[in-house]
Amino acid sequence: MHGGANVDAASAAAAAATSRSMTDSASSAKVGRGDEAIMADDEENSDEEEEGLATSLGFLKVDADKGKSLYIGQQHWHTILADISEVKNYFISHKKELESSYERVKQSKPMAAREGPTLLLGAVPASEMEIRAELPPKSAVLALCDRYFNSMDNAVNIIHEPTFKEQMSKHWKDPSKTPIMWLGLLYSVLCLAMLSFHKVGDEPPEWKGRTLELAAEYRLRTVQCLIKSDYTKPVEYTVETMILYVFGEYSSRWDADLGLWLIVSLITRIAFRMGYHRDAKWFPSLSPFQAEMRRRTWALVRMSDVVFSHQVSLPSMIYEHDCDTQLPNNIRDEEFGPDTKQLPPSRPSTEPTPIAYMIAKSRLCNELGNILQATNQVGKHVPYDEIIRFDAKLRQIIQELPPHLKLTTLEGSHDPVTLIIARFNVDILYQKILCLLHRKYLPRARQSARYAHSRRAAIEASLTALDHLAVLYRESQSRGRLRSVGWFVKSIATKDFILPAMLVILDLHFDNIAAQSVMPQDNEGASIWNSEQRSRMIGSLETAKDIWKTLADTSMEAFKASKIIEIMLAKIKDPSTSGTEQPMMQSEPMAGLAASIGTDTSPVVAPGLISPNSLPDFNTGINPFSTPNQAPFMAMDFGMTAPEGIDFQTDGFGAAAPASPFSSMFANMGAGQTTSGIDMTANFDWE
């Protein structure tokens, strides 16, 4: 195998040709069978094996006494190493430590974050008079609105600033005529601006120590406006207000929240009802201005649907074949308005605009949605050729990125912090989608060269992501280039990088098993990492572990991930322990790993950006994975999932620019499939 962080479209095409020309050696997977059993079957029908790849059922926890059932789909990262005895035993025997850690994390969060979303649990009704009267003074409103609009976040783009400020001017002239739903939009803006002050730590004197309290008050007012206007009978700005409300709830929480997923589902259905999913060019009743703003809003709705659904490992609601709304045009707010008769031509994609980042993230996220829906179908399989086509499309999207959004070396760079963070966000998302796309072919590559491209792509993407983590953390320290956005780096330090770390661990573990086998190597994908490559992979894991240890008191994911890496590094460094795994036909996830804990939600790299990702040729040693000897591989293909995510928001703010409240909005995109349909063990958190 040839290394290199850049697996280009040509490589993907070559992999596609290989996949079409080779025959796989496994038959269909039955429910409850591990992937090692698949590996051990006779070489007969490649289509049957590919069908087996999609037969995972996820986890179902049933409590007959309480009448409860809870389903976790194929995407939870906890399952990745669930069958390795040391990891499993740790979380079974250290329940008290987990509960203690959970309490520490919980106490570190504001009280509002420990309760369910206000919109679902209910808010004290307010009269129109009260809603209008509770707005802060005009000077405070203007200051908070400026704070909101001086960010690069995607959510900012769904409000047309010139129009919003004109509407605000009309409001001050006659507040009694302002629609309640528009006031809800205004309250949501005020909420997010207050959260921004709190996160960055630059609270103005008049709000010092009160920003969280005020944000909660404005969030409540937003809900009261939604209820007073009856959001189930949507009017103008209903969808936009609900989206900003969700962001306000999310930014104060630290776990993947089922309640927020339910609200996003409401938003999606309301957007469907209002026709956001159909491009406005078909409907002359909509003005050019309305058409463009609906495109921006739909882009954010679609991203929210994909990511929130993935966070809770459940299916998304928007399918590409159900919508034809175009991506937003690359135009500036000042170039169009409500009176525009015809939109100006879209600027070249190479031209930097405030909307360019949203367009880039939308393209990637739409492809993510297509990948999740294709790979998570029940009872159907995705041909490997289709995986390669997804791969090629992702690489094309990255190649077509505007130059200002392509990641470059930090050394000698004088670009603003906002732009640097935006570039990292795009590339982190890209690397994680590659991990998600290829992760379940990682063990199969050791059996068949047909899947060698997937193993190479997944590991290179994982190492690139971990390199990004190391750079972001280092540069966010007191003397680093990104010190002004240290809060943002902490918010994504676990959520965006646990999946890549688990993939690297898993592949090193497979290497240990292979190294103890006497079977000869049969194909490129089964090759073993040489000592230099192995050392770099272990080093990346140790760096991630050290970073996550510093965050363990405020993030359960950081605590769990650092413990898992610590356990697995000891095992990996002592290869003799890897061959002692007991065969298990069916995995029973570690009981304590998810106990009392929710899931934490919180372009190709330019040469010389970070430590090189290039991975030279594998050590052409031994390959036990191409033989029918199934004993070493029982229950080894752990589903890769993770409510980790991807930050779909650009949260970069320079030292002089306000930081965005949407820092970790999409910070939980994770991974792939579990091994089989199995019941979750006791101690799973029902909340």
Per-residue pLDDT reduced to its tens digit, 422-479: 999 999 999 999 999 998 898 889 888 899 999 999 999 999 999 999 999 999 998 8
Per-residue pLDDT reduced to its tens digit, 391-417: 999 999 999 999 999 999 888 788 999
Instruction: Let me know: does 196 contact 147? Beta carbons within 8 Å.
Output: yes
Rounded Cα distance between 288 and 331, Å, is 13
Which strand (E) or helix (H) includes residue 565?
helix 556-573
Instruction: Let me know: does 651 contact 660? Beta carbons within 8 Å.
Output: yes
Query: Taking 60 as the threshold, does the pLDDT of residue 322 lie above it?
Result: yes
More confident residue, 625 or 562: 562
What pLDDT is attached to residue 123? 87
pLDDT band at 241 (very low <50, low <70, confident <90, very high): very high
pLDDT band at 243 (very low <50, low <70, confident <90, very high): very high
User: What is the phi/psi pair of residue 488, to 5°?
Assistant: -70, -45
What pLDDT is attached to residue 82? 65
Rounded Cα distance between 57 and 457, Å, is 26
Provide the β-strand partners of residue 619.
528
What pLDDT is attached to residue 59? 74
Provide the β-strand partners of residue 61.
70
Lowest mean pLDDT among 187-196, 453-462, 566-575: 566-575
Lowest mean pLDDT among 367-376, 404-413, 636-645: 636-645
CA dihedral 217, 219, 224, 229 (to 10 degrees): 150
What pLDDT is attached to residue 529? 85
Mean residue pLDDT across the chain? 77
Which strand (E) or helix (H) includes residue 170?
helix 161-173
136-158 b/e (C-beta count within 10 Å ≥ 16 → b): beeebbebbbebbbbbbbbbbbb
What pLDDT is attached to residue 495? 78
What pLDDT is attached to residue 496? 81
Per-residue pLDDT reduced to its tens digit, 548-561: 999 888 888 888 88
DSSP character for 602? -
User: What is the phi/psi pair of residue 117, to 5°?
Assistant: -60, 140
Provide the β-strand partners of residue 648.
none
Query: Taking 60 as the threshold, does the pLDDT of residue 25 lie above it?
Result: no
More confident residue, 665 or 274: 274
Query: Taking 60 as the threshold, does the pLDDT of residue 157 lie above it?
Result: yes
Provide the β-strand partners of residue 59.
72, 678
Task: Determine whether 119 is exposed, middle or buried from the number of CB atoms within 10 Å of its CB (0-12, 13-18, 19+).
Answer: buried
Rounded Cα distance between 485 and 649, Å, is 14
For residue 228, CA distances in Å to 133, 171, 192, 231, 249 come to 15, 18, 21, 8, 19
String of DSSP letters for 416-463? -HHHHHHHHHHHHHHHHHHHHHHGGGTTGGGT-GGGHHHHHHHHHHHH
User: What is the phi/psi pair of residue 131, to 5°?
Assistant: -60, -45
Lowest mean pLDDT among 93-97, 108-112, 537-541: 108-112
At 443, list the tokens: 């063990």
Positive/negative CA dihedral, 190, 192, 195, 200: negative
Query: Taking 90 as the threshold, does the pLDDT of residue 140 lie above it?
Result: yes
More confident residue, 93 or 593: 93
19-34 b/e (C-beta count within 10 Å ≥ 16 → b): beeeebbbbbbeeebb
Query: Taking 80 as the threshold, does the pLDDT of residue 200 lie above it?
Result: yes
Average the pLDDT over 311-337 and give the result.
Answer: 94
Residues above pLDDT 90, as percent of the chain:
48
pLDDT band at 29 (very low <50, low <70, confident <90, very high): very low
Rounded Cα distance between 488 and 544, Å, is 17
681: number of Cβ within 10 Å: 18
pLDDT band at 54 (very low <50, low <70, confident <90, very high): very low
String of DSSP letters for 65-122? TTTEEEEE-TT-GGGTTTT-HHHHHHHHHTHHHHHHHHHHHHHTS-GGGGS--HHHH-
pLDDT band at 523 (very low <50, low <70, confident <90, very high): low
